[in-house]
Amino acid sequence: MKIEDKRITFPKSLSFKYAGKIVEETKTHLTLEGENEESYLKIFTPFRGVAKLVLYENDRWVDAETLSSIGNFDFSSLGLENMPDLSLDGAKKTKGKTKGKKK
């Protein structure tokens, strides 16, 4: 996962739901921009249900459990240590403001 200012980039290979503005989308990654307190990213694992909830609060992305910056989160504790590389190669598509979900 990569966080820059109001934007959070994560692999589409994860099972997730989100609310926020899609600013970039490639075949492998999705970048959301936090808009308000309703923006979130919910990451699921098949064996734990909700693995991690990331909220956009006070103009930054935080871990919902600790309210600390999510940038230093260790995904190996969730069994997600083999997350794909976050290089953003591939065709990029820009989309407008969207709220949606993917499983």
In a domain, 100, yes or no: no
pLDDT digits (tens, 9 = 90+) for 57-85: 999 999 999 888 887 566 666 666 555 44
pLDDT digits (tens, 9 = 90+) for 2-53: 888 899 998 898 889 999 999 999 999 999 999 999 999 999 877 768 888 9
pLDDT at 42: 93
Count of domains forming the chain = 1
In a domain, 33, yes or no: yes
pLDDT at 101: 54
Give the structural domain span for 64.
Answer: 2-75
pLDDT at 1: 80
In a domain, 61, yes or no: yes
In a domain, 97, yes or no: no
In a domain, 43, yes or no: yes
In a domain, 87, yes or no: no
Q: Say which residues have a Cβ less than 8 Å from residue 71's Cβ, sequence separation at least 6.
A: 1, 3, 61
In a domain, 31, yes or no: yes
Cα-to-chain-centroid distance, residue 13: 11
pLDDT at 90: 44
In a domain, 42, yes or no: yes
